[in-house]
Amino acid sequence: MRRGDPHADALKDGRVFARFGGGQAAVTMDRGAYYQTSYLIEKGRDAELRTQDVQWLRDRLGALFDWDDEVTGAIASWDDVKLLEVTFGRLRRWYRDGLLCIGDAAHTMSPVGGLGVGLALQDAVAASRILAAPLRRGTVRVADLARVQKRRQLPTAVLQKAQQAEHTMIRSALAGTLDGDRLPVPMRLLRRVPPLRTVSGCLGGFGIRPERAPGFARVRPGARSR
């Protein structure tokens, strides 16, 4: 949705904001010229909600984010609203002879927290570091592929658990039963101990067991790209 509301200064470029209230939940990122926004619904309700006039959605987003009609009017019809199905999953085995799955091919993630992209990139870095030498020799063994999964399986499992906890809270918000005094223990700790939010942000940004690119892939200080 286009920028232009009188409260634009309250939302900073690149920052993500979530709003919960009255059985509703929405998340938006200020992209500078527009808002990239998601409105969360219970699974299976998309067709039902689309029977209503699109003004229904405009009104709810406007109320949640304090946006005026100029902003929400960017949603001209339901054709401008796309459904994103969210599923969780993880392959028991990420590889076979001649094949290695990483990223979404190995583990599907929710868009909540924006963790999926970072996790996929870390998978790719780990794979490049572990498989570089075998690829150069031309002898990639199944055991080499297994090393990639072994390296990345724990970070994947931990972040998926974190997302599941967030989804539990979101379901409560959608049902209108979210109680700030009965949040999951990790959520309560984040509210009561501000420094933990920095730790949480680092885990979300860098992941569990962050990967370092192999030496041959790093740009040396002062080196010029060709």
44 pLDDT band (50/70/90 cuts)? confident
With b for 16 or more beta-carbon neighbours within 10 A and e for fewer, the 127-143 pattern comes to: bbbbbeeeeeeeebeee
Residue 29, in any domain of the structure: yes
Q: Give me the number of domains the chain comprises.
A: 2
pLDDT tens-digit readout, 135-164: 999 999 999 999 999 999 999 998 888 888
pLDDT level of residue 26 (50, 70, 90 thresholds): confident
User: In percent, how much of the chain has pLDDT > 70?
Assistant: 76
Place of tokens 């409260």: 7
The DSSP call for residue 223 is P
Residues 31 and 141 both lie in one domain: no
Instruction: Indicate if 43 and 149 belong to the same structural domain.
Output: no
User: What pLDDT sits at residue 111?
Assistant: 76
Please tell me the distance from the alpha carbon of residue 224 to that of residue 23, in angstroms, as a whole number: 54
Per the confidence metrics, is the pTM higher than 0.85?
A: no
Mean pLDDT of 22-31: 81
Residues 46 and 155 in one domain: no
Among 49, 80, 111, where does a domain finish? 80
pLDDT at 14: 53
Residues 49, 102, single domain; the answer is no
Identify the top-confidence range among 45-49, 87-91, 166-170, 181-185. 45-49
Residue-number span of the structural domain to which 133 is assigned: 89-217
* Residues 117, 179 share a domain: yes
Between residues 213 and 221, which one has the greater pLDDT? 213
Q: Does the pLDDT of residue 210 top 80, yes or no? A: yes
Q: Which residue in this structure is represented by tokens 């080499």? A: 144
Q: Which of 31, 53, 80 is the last residue of a domain?
A: 80
How sure is the predictor about 113, in pLDDT bands with cuts at 50, 70 and 90?
Answer: low
Is 19 found in the same domain as 74?
A: yes
Of 20, 53, 80, which residue constitutes the final position of a domain? 80
One domain for residues 73 and 177: no
Q: Based on the domain organization, do 103 and 136 belong to the same domain?
A: yes
Position with higher pLDDT, 160 vs 209:
160
* DSSP code, position 103: G
Q: Is residue 210 part of a domain?
A: yes
Nearest Cα neighbor of 35 from 10, 5, 1 is 1
Mean pLDDT of the chain: 81
Average pLDDT in the 73-90 region? Answer: 90
pLDDT of residue 201: 64
Same-domain status, 98 and 142 = yes
- In the predicted structure, residue 11 carries a pLDDT above the cut 50: no
**Shared domain check, 166 and 67:** no
Which amino acid appears at position 220 of this protein? R
Q: Are 34 and 19 in contact (CB under 8 A)?
A: no
